[in-house]
């Protein structure tokens, strides 16, 4: 049986379903880019809500650890690599969201970024992460997404 550490608690899991990023992933905050591992409830994250940019309160930042590691996918953009777990949702340029595992099957895709722009991502490779981080936004709307990386692509914790 595999165990995942959530805070100071070991939780048994039957299947790894973590929607998270590596600790160095940059997230847009009201005060600029900040590593996801350094975020706290005091930070305000810049979000897109139905095409309107807002700054939203962070409900929680969760760090999960596993001795066996978490499977992750490396997405390459023209500016940087972003390491993310397969079950995380990202915004598509065509509208809606897709899981990163779907991008893996296609070898990449065109993602929606803030300001109505798009960016192409390619699946560059795979990684094993011992620690992963996720941000939950306090805003209740299912269409909210936050900005990830220097290219500002849209990520959601709502799927």
Q: How far apart are CA 137 and CA 44, in angstroms?
A: 9
CATH code where residue 6 lies:
2.170.16.10
- Of residues 134 and 51, more confidence is placed in 134
Mean pLDDT of all residues belonging to the chain = 78
Give the CA distances from residue 52 to residues 14, 105, 108, 114, 152, in Å, rounded to whole numbers and listed in that order.
Answer: 38, 31, 26, 9, 14
Contact by Cβ (8 Å): 5, 12: no
Number of domains in the chain: 1
Give residue 134's pLDDT band: very low, low, confident or very high (50, 70, 90): confident
The average pLDDT across 103-111 equals 85
Q: How far apart are CA 123 and CA 72, in angstroms?
A: 11
Q: Which domain holds residue 61?
A: 2-156
Q: What pLDDT score was predicted for residue 17? A: 43
The average pLDDT across 33-50 equals 85
At residue 3, does pLDDT exceed 70? no
Q: What pLDDT score was predicted for residue 16? A: 38
Q: What pLDDT score was predicted for residue 115? A: 67
pLDDT cut 70: percent of the chain above it: 79
Q: What pLDDT score was predicted for residue 38? A: 93
Give residue 5's pLDDT band: very low, low, confident or very high (50, 70, 90): low
Q: What pLDDT score was predicted for residue 112? A: 79
| 3-class SS of residue 159 | coil
Give residue 56's pLDDT band: very low, low, confident or very high (50, 70, 90): confident
Its pTM stands at 0.77
């Amino acid at each position: 049986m595999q165990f995942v550490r959530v805070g100071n608690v070991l939780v048994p899991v039957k299947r790894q379903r973590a929607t998270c990023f590596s600790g160095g992933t940059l997230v847009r905050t009201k005060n600029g880019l900040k590593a996801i591992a350094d975020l706290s409830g005091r930070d305000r994250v810049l979000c897109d809500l139905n095409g309107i940019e807002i700054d939203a309160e962070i409900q929680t930042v969760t760090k999960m650890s596993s001795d066996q590691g978490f499977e992750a996918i490396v997405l390459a953009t023209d500016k940087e690599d972003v390491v993310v777990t397969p079950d995380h949702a990202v915004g598509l340029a065509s509208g809606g969201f897709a899981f990163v595992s779907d991008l893996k099957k296609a070898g990449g895709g065109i993602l929606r970024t803030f300001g109505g722009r798009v960016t192409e991502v390619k699946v560059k490779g795979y990684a094993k992460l011992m620690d992963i981080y996720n941000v939950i936004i306090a805003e209740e709307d299912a269409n909210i997404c936050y900005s990830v990386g220097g290219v500002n692509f849209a990520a959601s914790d709502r799927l």
